[in-house]
Amino acid sequence: MKKQLLSTLLALSLCAAFGTAQAQEAVRPDVGKPLQAAQELIKAGKYREALARVRDADAVGNKNANEAYLVERMRIAAASGAGDMEAASRAYEALAAGGRLAPADKARMAESIAGGYYRAKDYARAMQWSQRYFKEGGTSPAIRTLLIQSQYLSGDYAGAARELTAEVQAAEKAGSAPGQDRLNLLLNAAAQMKDPNATVFALERLVTYYPKKEYWVDLLSRMQRKPGFSDRLVLDTYRLSLATGSLSSAADFMEAGQLALQAGHEEEARQIVDKGFASGVLGTGAEAERHKRLRDLVARKIAEAKAGQAAAEAEAKAAKDGDGLVKIGFARAMGGDSAAGLAMMQQGIAKGGLKRPEDAKLHLGIAQALAGDAKAQATLRSVGGSDGTADLARLWSLYAKRRN
């Protein structure tokens, strides 16, 4: 119904100038009467009958320039409404060649033809006429949408992705969220092209503006599959999965808890395991006893760590480098004591001599992001490295941006 109404409105607008043009220069009755009849038929929505009357007018010999102009103008109106896009296209070309069309009329006619081809599912030509519409100065967002959909449906995935990317960037520059439907269409186009860069571009915007578990799972999985991604960053990846609600399997909860223990983050390991039990992922099924053994191990390790905590902190403060302070501070922050942990990490980074300075900045940014610290973005943007640290920092930055 909506498409039919749009077709009617466009057809009426295309034949609206008939009376004015007729008055400007004499039109013989043999031409004018069938064209007037065609105009009335268009108003009544009887486009095919209108097209027949246009042909009657066109059959009159020795037409002057104004009569020929009126015939083609009425033909494009009737043909657009009737869905005869070949006739509409020929009429447009004849009118454009005549030099009498104003730019606004050219754009309006191209819009009508583009819409007609789209309704006829001739997406290649709908795409061509949409592009012509913009070339003639058109600015309609609806035709931009029609162009992108025509590109996608005709198999021009690269063209659709290019238009969608520009649209997304323009929306972000204007300070507004890109439409979710546009991002999903871009994601689909990228998948059709097997373009990893376009895929990540779309996924990053989706997790920023419309975060869903499946988007995060896909994005994190792609990051870990990149050549050169370091195994030492697996725990940091699990941390982001947990923060975004995309950590779901018992095996992942178990591995995350074990890695946290190995890193000396006993309190964080307890939090991970407790969340696994609270969600019902751990503590059930054939591996339930193994899950309980890990929980018991975590409790013992916490007790052991508390006993040696003062000595470990004293040793870290006395050390020549800041690695010990960063490590202990990160463990405290991830265990829930954000204020003290962040302060200790910053002291360690300021002290210098770090074995892995990019890891230290990444961990500081993670701790800041989880604490809701506004400084997280600046810290995470400063992280470099080609082994996955910079990639992971970027994803943590997206999480922090959404959270704040």
Domains contained in the chain, CATH given = 2-150 (1.25.40), 157-210 (no CATH), 233-403 (1.25.40)
- Please give the Cα distance from 71 to 13 (Å, whole number): 15
- Please give the Cα distance from 252 to 132 (Å, whole number): 53
- Please, what is the Cα angle at 241 between 236 and 244, to 5 degrees? 125
Helical (H) or strand (E) element with 208: helix 196-209
Torsion of CA 198, 204, 209, 214, to 10 degrees: 100
What is the residue-level pLDDT of the chain in tens, covering all 404 positions?
Answer: 344 444 444 554 555 555 545 445 678 999 999 999 999 999 999 999 999 999 999 999 999 989 999 999 999 989 988 889 999 999 989 888 888 888 888 898 899 899 989 999 999 999 999 999 999 999 999 999 999 999 999 999 999 999 999 999 999 999 999 999 999 999 999 999 999 999 999 999 999 999 999 999 999 999 999 999 999 999 999 999 999 999 989 999 999 999 999 999 999 999 999 999 999 999 999 999 999 999 999 999 999 988 888 999 999 999 999 999 999 999 999 999 999 999 999 999 999 999 999 999 999 999 999 999 999 999 999 999 999 999 999 999 999 987 65
Written as one string, the DSSP assignment of 354-401 is -S-HHHHHHHHHHHHHHHT-TTHHHHHHT---TTTHHHHHHHHHHHHH
Written as one string, the DSSP assignment of 299-333 is HHHHHHHHHTHHHHHHHHHHSSSSHHHHHHHHHHH
- Please give the Cα distance from 348 to 336 (Å, whole number): 19
- Please give the Cα distance from 358 to 345 (Å, whole number): 13
DSSP state of 61: S
